[in-house]
């Protein structure tokens, strides 16, 4: 039997016996045909791959586009359901319905503020139903949200609040409401403020690790967790001063909203109302009424003038993201709102504040003629002194060409203040933590650990300092002297930058430096801050400095990742960190502190590692 395959190439001859003979007959055009077949296969493969990729991206893009561009339309006679939960961060990436549930537990301050403002200006939304659950937010973030709620209320629309249990943060926001209700079996917490830093010295000693510290500043307490087992007197003094100042603002706001005296608020805090009956809350005028949630919903229906059986039309913060503002301004004058959030580190990535990436963003704004002014939103406790210097230089160059106004968030301290100090103007919340002008260096000596493990090291070197930085031995006297001199020089540079930027004599500024933290309110008194307020005030100041009047549009930078980018941004590091956080729980922050100590630059300009204000 003969079966012929591949014309003009070869054929198989099968003999119908137990044996078969394979005959390959080569033709003279065989090389050309093989080359042509291979080339055709490659071209076909590439073509099919391109078709497949186009189909995939068009399909995925269309899916994301349909989700991303679908606009929520608020119903007539509706409310903004302001349900606060999770961790409230400065800014969150865009979200999709395809993200895992744990990806959306955090909320963005920018999204919350935008939702309240849109609701205020939307005639279809009649009020806010404030439902504060268990959430985490700093005093400065709370102040920003609270002011937005006050502005909303002044528009003539109502705010009602309800919770099974009010945390102190939740109640601080709810206190502006026209009516506050609590579940009959619910509770309300007012306890004041406390700071509980964690100290690692004894734990490190058990591991055989000695942390060698080099610093400038009596109040530079970031090193204390590694060298002490309790607060130094200087740190206790500055922490007490800051907490009292922050509480004075929160206490005053609560008193004014609930028509109480300052002493009455303090008295309630000292009685720990969380464990009191709801009758106590009514008696102290902390709440207006006691209702079950179903009864509260019925009350809300009366405000909207709808039947008890009707569903309450509402919009969430997430819904409001896709709702366009009622008036879309157009202008050739742009103000850039540039966010700098997180630790200051060396690198060119977009996470945290990486110097090369941030400098590049600043340079693009400097070269853009349509950008008339920049609001630099800083929310950072600092980090690398070197990286801070690079960003400081970029801001200095930007300031030469257009106004730069810093808006401080929760933190703008140490390195965070370094990158802020040379702005045209600085705006902070009264409860912002700032200052902390000082630097330090941490060098671990792991000789004890090596001894415990039975590891021994030897060295051969050509010069005296050839093994400088060797972690298997303590530093000698000369090495310590050199390093301290280097730290002193860095501190002098930091001090000079701040003195020049704030136009304060260097010797005068030195009195407020030494690593000491200040609240925004205190910082304004001593000249480290110009004005008190939030982002909106900073934008208005920037517009005035650029002589723009009301003719401007604000654009945010860096841009948020698109929905499509966000879908494909999930990576193994995200998964690893989530798993680690779930496993370690409250110990996660401690673990990350020690991890960062190993990975970050040795010379740091940063706030105490964990303020832990509660």
Please list the active-site residues: 220, 414
**For residue 232, cis peptide bond before it (omega within 30 degrees of 0):** no
Residue 138: name the closest of 6, 249, 301, 20 by CA: 249
Q: Name 63's Cβ contacts closer than 8 Å, sequence gap at least 6.
A: none
CA distance 219 to 237: 9
β-strands 440-445, 603-606: how paired? antiparallel
Cα gap 236→566, rounded to integer Å: 43
Query: Which tokens belong to 405?
Result: 């106004």
User: How far apart are the C-alpha atoms of 345 and 354, rounded to whole Å?
Assistant: 5
Whats the size of the chain, residue-wise?
Answer: 614
Q: What is the 3-state secondary structure (H, E, C) of 79-103?
A: EEEEEEEEEEECCCCCCCCCCCHHH
Residue entry with tokens 């009301």:
550
Query: Which pair of structure tokens corresponds to residue 567?
Result: 């879908």
- Rounded to whole angstroms, the Cα distance separating 486 from 477 reads 14
Q: Are 43 and 279 in contact (CB under 8 A)?
A: no
Spatial separation of the C-alpha atoms in residues 525 and 469, rounded to whole Å: 42
Quickly tell me which residue has 């490659």 as its tokens. 42
What are the tokens at 426?
Answer: 């600085």
What is the spatial distance between Cα 420 and Cα 513, in angstroms, rounded to a whole number? 15
Give the Cα separation of 34 and 7 in Å (integer). Answer: 12
């Amino acid at each position: 039997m003969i079966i012929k395959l591949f014309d003009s190439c070869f054929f198989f001859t099968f003999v119908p016996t137990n044996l078969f003979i394979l005959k390959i007959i080569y033709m003279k055009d065989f090389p050309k045909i093989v080359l042509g077949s291979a080339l055709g296969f490659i071209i076909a493969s590439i073509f099919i791959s391109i078709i497949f990729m186009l189909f995939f991206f068009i399909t995925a893009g269309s899916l994301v586009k349909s989700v991303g561009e679908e606009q929520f339309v608020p119903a007539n006679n509706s409310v903004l359901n302001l349900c606060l939960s999770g961790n409230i961060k400065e800014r969150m990436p865009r979200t999709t319905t395809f993200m895992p549930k744990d990806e959306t537990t955090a909320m963005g301050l920018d999204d919350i503020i935008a939702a309240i403002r849109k609701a205020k200006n939307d005639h279809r939304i009649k009020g806010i139903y404030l439902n504060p659950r268990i959430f985490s937010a700093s005093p400065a973030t709370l102040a920003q949200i609270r002011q937005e709620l006050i502005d909303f209320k002044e528009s003539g629309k109502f705010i009602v609040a309800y919770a099974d249990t009010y945390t102190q943060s939740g109640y601080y926001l709810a206190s502006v409401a026209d009516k506050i209700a609590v579940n009959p079996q619910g509770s309300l917490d007012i306890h004041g403020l406390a700071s509980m830093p964690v100290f690692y010295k004894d734990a490190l000693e058990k591991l055989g690790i000695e942390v060698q510290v080099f610093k400038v500043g009596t109040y530079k307490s970031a090193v204390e967790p590694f060298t002490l087992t309790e607060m130094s007197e200087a740190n206790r003094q500055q922490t007490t001063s800051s907490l009292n100042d922050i509480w004075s603002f929160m206490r005053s706001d609560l008193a004014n909203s609930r028509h109480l005296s300052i002493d009455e608020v303090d008295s309630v805090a000292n009685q720990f109302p969380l464990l009191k009956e709801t009758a106590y809350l009514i008696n102290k005028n902390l709440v207006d009424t006691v209702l079950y949630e179903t009864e509260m919903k019925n009350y809300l229906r009366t405000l909207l003038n709808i039947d008890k059986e009707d569903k309450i039309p509402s919009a969430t913060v997430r819904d409001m993201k896709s709702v366009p503002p009622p008036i879309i301004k157009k202008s050739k004058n742009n103000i850039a709102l540039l966010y700098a959030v997180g630790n200051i580190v060396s690198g060119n990535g977009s996470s945290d504040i990486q110097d090369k990436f941030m400098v590049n963003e600043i340079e693009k704004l400097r070269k853009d003629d349509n950008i008339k002014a920049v609001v630099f939103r800083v929310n950072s406790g600092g980090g690398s002194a070197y990286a801070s210097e690079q960003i400081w230089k970029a801001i200095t160059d930007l300031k030469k060409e257009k106004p730069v106004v810093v808006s401080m968030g929760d933190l703008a301290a140490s390195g965070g203040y370094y990158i802020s100090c040379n702005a045209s103007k600085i705006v902070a919340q009264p409860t912002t933590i700032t200052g902390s002008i000082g630097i330090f260096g941490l060098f671990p000596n792991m000789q004890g650990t090596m001894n415990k493990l039975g590891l021994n090291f030897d060295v051969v070197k050509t010069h005296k300092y050839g093994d400088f930085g060797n972690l298997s031995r303590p530093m000698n006297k000369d090495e310590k002297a050199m390093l301290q001199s280097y730290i002193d020089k860095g501190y002098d540079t930091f001090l000079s930058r701040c003195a020049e930027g704030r136009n304060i004599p260097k010797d005068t500024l030195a009195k407020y430096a030494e690593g000491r933290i200040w609240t925004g309110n205190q910082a304004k008194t001593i000249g480290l801050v110009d004005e008190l307020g939030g982002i909106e005030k900073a934008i208005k100041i920037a517009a005035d400095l650029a002589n723009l009047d009301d003719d401007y549009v604000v654009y945010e930078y860096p841009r948020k990742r698109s929905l499509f980018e966000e879908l494909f941004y999930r990576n193994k590091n995200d998964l690893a960190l989530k798993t680690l956080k779930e496993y370690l729980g409250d110990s996660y922050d401690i673990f990350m502190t020690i991890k960062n100590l190993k990975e970050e630059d040795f010379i740091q300009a940063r706030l105490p590692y964990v303020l832990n204000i509660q």
